[in-house]
Amino acid sequence: MRKKIVAGNWKMNTTLQEGVGLAKDVNEALKHAEVECDVVICVPFTHLAPVNEVIDSKLGLGAENCADHKSGAYTGEVSASMAASTGATYVILGHSERRQYYGETAETLKEKVALALDNNLTPIFCIGEVLEQRENGSYLDVVKSQIEDALFGLSAAEFSKLVLAYEPVWAIGTGKTATDDQAQEMHAHIRSVIAGKYGKEIADNTSILYGGSCKPSNARALFAKPDVDGGLIGGASLDAESFMGIVTAF
């Protein structure tokens, strides 16, 4: 049975001191909550090791990215092995902001996924369409291509280690949210694409998270959909109470 997961993506927010405090707040809240999903916080590179020191095993830790090289003369980059050495066990890859602002391509992401898996990091691999693609009706094909181009070189055993996250890019930070039916349509489509390549069993066991302006007010309806297995949470993950409101929506 596939995992239910709520993962926070802090993006480029919080100082180290603020981040450690937020992690402590989430960790403490988890001790007193009825939780029916895995909970992960993905934090800036500077925060990984200090945050790992203040959380316990109920709270997973992830990086927000990793380099597409194993090591070497790449000033400012952080490798998958470096991220893993801090105690991180997850890494977000292919986020729409990385694609948009830093030109990440399918070829780049193939390398990142391979290096993450080599270092026992679980990739949370992001896919999703922009507003123009949603409105011109190409969104299903766009997402299918994003999966095929970056991930279909993996073996079935490798693919089974991934978590996917659907981002309706047009809903991130805009206040718009895909309806729960729109989310379900895309998540079911993603699962069918996986099944076409790797078979129904792997497709049925792949966790697919929703990553578009998920809040405590809409999380329950989204998570009730049969193919929505949780959320990749941006802004709401920066407040422990809001984040826990989503975690407890299962």
Q: Environment class of residue 66 by beta-carbon count within 10 Å: exposed (0-12), middle (13-18) or buried (19+)?
A: buried
Catalytic site residues? Answer: 95, 167
Residue 144 neighbours by CB distance under 10 Å: 16
